A = this chain, B = another copy of it.
Amino acid sequence: MPRLRLALAQIDPTVGDLPGNSSLVHGWTSKAAGAGAHVVAFPEMMLTGYPVEDLVFRRSFVAASKRAVDDLAAQLAGDGLGETVVIVGYLDADEAGPRNALAVLHRGTQVATYFKHHLPNYGVFDEDRYFEPGDTLTVIRVGGVDIALTICEDLWQEGGPFAVAAAAKVGLVININGSPYELNKDDTRLALVARRAAEARATIAYVNTVGAQDELVFDGDSMVVRPDGSLIARAQQFAEQLMVLDLDLPAAEPVPPVVEDAEMRVVNVLISDSVVAADQPAPAPEIAARVTDEAEVWQALVVGLRDYVRKNGFRGVAVALSGGIDSAVVTAIACDALGPANVTAVSLPSGHSSQHSKDDAEDMARRTGLDYRVEPIQPMVDGFLANMALSGLAVENLQARVRGVIMMAISNQEGPLVLTTGNKSELAVGYSTLYGDSVGAFNPLKDVPKTLVWKLARWRNEEAERRGDVPPIPERSISKPPSAELRPGQLDSDSLPDYEVLDAILAGYVDGDLGRDDLIAAGHDPAVVDRTLRMVDLAEYKRRQSAPGTKISIKAFGRDRRLPITNRFRETPS
């Protein structure tokens, strides 16, 4: 049985940064070669980053991606790394259209190519918009082992590449991914890889991106699973890692079997019938332990924020720190992501701010050592009230908007990116001020319901205690009843159902697409369901109210021009 040493590079590309991503591949290939690996696999669309959205339609970008593959192959060989078989995702295009592609590099050239067969077009995926599906399964022979090559969604569908791989009698299927994180997705993923290993009757090596791109975060969770479903190696989530392991795999038959398949043709590429065995066996593969849900989400939020700030070229962030739970948790995430020295927290008290709010903000600053300042808003608010006749909600919103103006002035004057802090429950029901507390370039809590915000706060403080550190979040910020403090004595509970009840209804309505009758059948109070759904339907309008306009040309901004925010591809020489 031939023994192959395989390396899986779970790393973090940046969308559009072709030179930077190539350089990452070069560096990690060098490490893999140093560890004696025969084959190293990188994630889906590694050279371009993922997802590149409408950049796919720019010919100059496609050309740059193809050129990057050729240049990378030549550079690897030039630097003595040509013997290592490198498997790397990139953007290709042929007469049929753009392709979500994988290149195999060896001895200075691209010796094989695979085009993704199953294209996802649901949830966050729009791949029917962007790519033509491939109809060829590429099988490379390395060290006398046949290896089928697949990309991401190919793994999620029964039939197709994995069934064809079984017919081709391969010993290993490599699956490269840009698979975004979702809570508990790691459980689904392991079961899925095991199912597909059984279908292919082969070992599966799964390598995933780690890091974040705009609103998506990739958790890694790379793994190797035997045909019987046994897990033999698994990487940590949310951390870059080179997983190197020795695999004893079935020897390929001298002549590859002929596969008759209506859907996919098999292309066999011989790279090597034998390899130089390593002097020493690779260290025993590790199976990283799973962590709690709170730890997993916290890491996702930290990585999401860190990459958004870093990849967009910012160094620090500014947060309006009220003393309440949401801004406290955002501030703690920011300190973990960027270090407290890169976090500016601004207390913006008004006449309605309680003493405990001001004290809790200051306490948080002391606990973390971040950059802290106080900017009282009343003088500016009074400037508007003296010149305009405003009352009620207009005055409440005015306070939130003056805070927004101050935060943006600090951003313009000093450079930090402003974070906004509305949690998913608040956003869902529209409990926020448009152009007020919603001002900011990134919101770590946008997808975190209020009840989970509290759990995260408690988890983070307990984690600090376990490590012997000072818990970053003041206990009172967690335990006190939430309030927007925009009028005297205001509490969230004046306007909203209890958050436990609210979050359960929102999970059904927003995440589950349930209707009113379904929610009532699930046991919710009809009056609370009606009240909540009315709020959500109205808020949908407010949440989307960021200046849409009438479309009159082939491509307007917005719906039909989907470009990544974080994107370093530049047409111009820098």
* A interface with B by C-beta (< 8 Å): 54, 57-61, 63, 121-124, 126, 128-129, 180-183, 212, 214-217, 297, 300-301, 303-305, 308, 312, 375-376, 379-380, 382-384, 386-391, 393-394, 397-398, 401-402, 404-406, 408-410, 412-413, 420, 422, 424, 427-428, 434-435, 438-448, 509-511, 513-518, 529-530, 533-534, 537, 540-541, 543-561, 563, 565-567, 569-573
Contact in complex: B548, A442 (CB < 8 Å): yes
Instruction: Return chain B residues, CB-CB under 8 Å to A439.
Output: 435
Given A398-B405, A554-B511, residue A379 in contact with residue B383 (CB < 8 A): yes
Residues of chain B contacted by A60 (CB below 8 angstroms): 514-518
Does A443 lie within 8 Å of B548, measured CB to CB?
A: yes
Choose among B397, B513, B514, B552 the residue that contacts A181 (Cβ–Cβ < 8 A).
B552
Contact of A183 among B390, B530, B552 (CB under 8 A): B552
B304 lies within 8 A of A550 (CB): yes
| Contact call A420/B558, Cβ cutoff below 8 A | no
Q: Say how far A441's CB is from chain B's closest CB, in angstroms.
A: 5
How far, in angstroms, from A401 to B560 measured CA to CA in the complex?
A: 28
The CA of A551 and the CA of B408, in the complex, are separated in Å by: 25
Asked if residues A556 and B383 are in contact (CB atoms below 8 Å), the reply is no
Query: Can you sample 6 A-B contacts with CB below 8 Å?
Result: A60-B518, A63-B515, A182-B553, A304-B550, A304-B551, A427-B557
Residues of B contacting A513 in the complex (Cβ-Cβ under 8 angstroms): 54, 57-59
Chain B: minimal CB distance from A545 (Å): 5
Give the distance to chain B from A502, nearest Cβ to Cβ, in Å. 15
From known contacts A375-B388, A557-B446, infer whether A551 and B405 are also in contact, taking CB-CB under 8 Å: no
Q: How far is the CA of A498 from the CA of B368 in the complex (A)?
A: 50
Residues in B neighbouring A405, C-beta threshold 8 A? 384, 398, 401-402, 405, 435
Instruction: Tell me whether B547 and A446 are in contact (CB under 8 A).
Output: yes
The number of times this chain is found in the oligomer is 2
Question: What residue of chain B has the Cβ atom nearest to residue A411's Cβ?
Answer: B394
- When A408-B435, A511-B554 are in contact, do A548 and B565 touch as well, CB less than 8 Å? yes
Residue of B nearest to A313 (CB): B541
Q: Which residues of B contact A545 (CB under 8 A)?
A: 441, 565
* CB-based nearest B residue for A574: B534
Known pairs A129-B122, A420-B547, A540-B563; A379 contacts B387 (CB<8 A): yes
Q: Find A551's partner among B180, B537, B552, B563 (CB 8 Å cutoff).
A: B180
- Report A241 CB to chain B, min CB distance, Å: 21
Please report the C-alpha to C-alpha distance between residue A408 and residue B542 in the assembled complex, in whole angstroms: 13
Q: How far is the CB of A24 from chain B (nearest CB, A)?
A: 22
Contact between B408 and A571, CB atoms less than 8 A apart: no
A182: B residues at CB distance < 8 A: 551-554
The one of B128, B443, B533 that contacts A549, using a Cβ cutoff of 8 Å: B443
A440-B96 Cα distance, complex, nearest whole Å: 42
Query: In the complex, what residues of B have CB within 8 A of residue A183's CB?
Result: 552-553
| Chain B residues within an 8 Å CB radius of A544 | 563, 565
Of all A-B residue pairs in the complex, the 4 with the closest CB atoms, nearest first, are A446-B549, A60-B515, A304-B550, A383-B383
A457 to chain B, nearest CB (A): 16
Cβ-defined contact, B402 with A550, below 8 A: no
Q: Which one, B54, B63, B442, B550, contacts A444 given CB within 8 A?
A: B550
Cα A308 to Cα B544 with chains together (Å): 13
Q: Is the CB of A446 within 8 A of B556?
A: yes
A547 to B402 CA separation, bound complex (whole angstroms): 18
Pick the contact of A128: B128, B394, B446, B558 (CB < 8 A).
Answer: B128
A123 cross-chain contacts in B, Cβ below 8 A:
554-555, 560
- Residues from chain B with Cβ under 8 Å of A59 in the complex: 513-515, 518
- Give the complex CA separation of A573 and B393 in angstroms: 26
Cβ A391 vs Cβ B408 within 8 A: no
